[in-house]
Amino acid sequence: MTKQYLVKSEIAVVDNVNVYYEYYFHEHIVEKPVILLIHGFVSSTYSFRHLIPYLAQNYSVLAIDLPGFGKSEKSNSFIYSFNNYATLIFSLITMLNIQKIIPVGHSMGGQVVLYMAKLRPELVEKVVLLSSSGYLKRAKKKYRYASYIPFAPILVKKFFMKRDYKDALSYVVYNKETVKEEDVREYAKAFEDDRFFRSLIRVLRHREGDLTAEQLKEIQHPVLLLWGKYDNVIPIHIGKRLQLDIPNTEMFIFEETGHLVPEERPQEVAGQIFQFINKDHPKS
């Protein structure tokens, strides 16, 4: 693929938090919306490494590490809620002088995208959800209270450190042979930083819960759902339920694919996104 775009990757101070982002910018297609990529839980922009080159051939692409994840700050003062994530992302978009976006959210990032569509609908043209989280309630009070126990991050760290990262990564894909050692090492890096576990605790404490069926019905943007048929993390029935609850929604299911849709099917995902963007949708 021929590279025809400028790449900017840096850490910027956004709403008093250091945020890492990658911006693949086309100077000659500024009239098009920017495709915004939001990763899932315990992930980062790394999860879009295969998808970005395909998307960036035709559109400017912005990928962000949410606070608490990847190369962004593991802040002790940031409120790790979906609404706060959405607000921070809009602040970054304003800083970059981006006028219109098509947000693409994977897993937990799908809920961040849906919150964005509700918060600033005029800035969102269309929405793409990749194996999106859905219908999860807020953590029970006893767990939120337990998150304030001083040694809570230590317990979370012990839980994660017992896991075999290769096995964990193999669980979320369909074809186990696609899991490479370099990918395991990259995903495991997050767990080498003790601040990461404090961030996870704060996500547990602050996350509001996914949008309800009633709230989803208020979303009027055209929405594309892309799902792996063999998703062990967020089963396909969640996607089908989202399709029923969000008014203007279409769904495509990838065969022989697990939860990591953007990594397992990057070229096909890009193709589905381009087809969706170029399709005329009737106003609801």
Most confident listed range (28-32, 64-68, 276-280):
64-68
pLDDT at 202: 86
Q: How many residues does the chain have?
A: 284
Candidate list 39, 106, 221, 259, residue with the active-site label: 259
Output the CA–CA distances (angstroms, integers) from residue 202 to 24, 219, 269, in the order listed: 31, 28, 32
- Tell me if the pTM is above 0.75: yes
Average pLDDT on 146-152 reads 65
d(CA 55, CA 51): 6
Q: Of the listed 47, 81, 107, 199, which one is catalytic?
A: 107
pLDDT digits (tens, 9 = 90+) for 27-47: 877 789 999 999 999 999 999
| Residue among 221, 20, 220 nearest 102 (CA) | 221
The full DSSP string for 150-191 is TTHHHHHHHHHHTS-HHHHHHHTSS-GGG--HHHHHHHHGGG
Range 234-246 average pLDDT: 97
259 included as an active-site residue: yes
- Comparison of pLDDT for 112 and 195, the residue scoring more: 112
Kindly state the percentage of the chain with pLDDT values over 70.
90
Q: What is the pLDDT of residue 28?
A: 78
Amino acid of residue 175: N
Cα–Cα distance, 2 to 19 (Å, whole number): 29
Tokens 């547990």, located at residue: 204
**Domains of the chain by start residue, with CATH:** 6-136+209-278 (3.40.50.1820)
Averaged confidence pLDDT in the chain: 91
Average pLDDT over residues 7-21: 96
Q: What is the pLDDT of residues 160-189, one digit of tens each?
A: 666 677 888 899 999 998 899 999 999 888
| pLDDT at residue 142 tops 60 | yes
284: confidence class by pLDDT, cuts 50, 70, 90: very low
CA gap 107, 124 in Å, rounded: 19
Q: In the structure encoding, which two tokens stand for residue 106, read together?
A: 């994977």
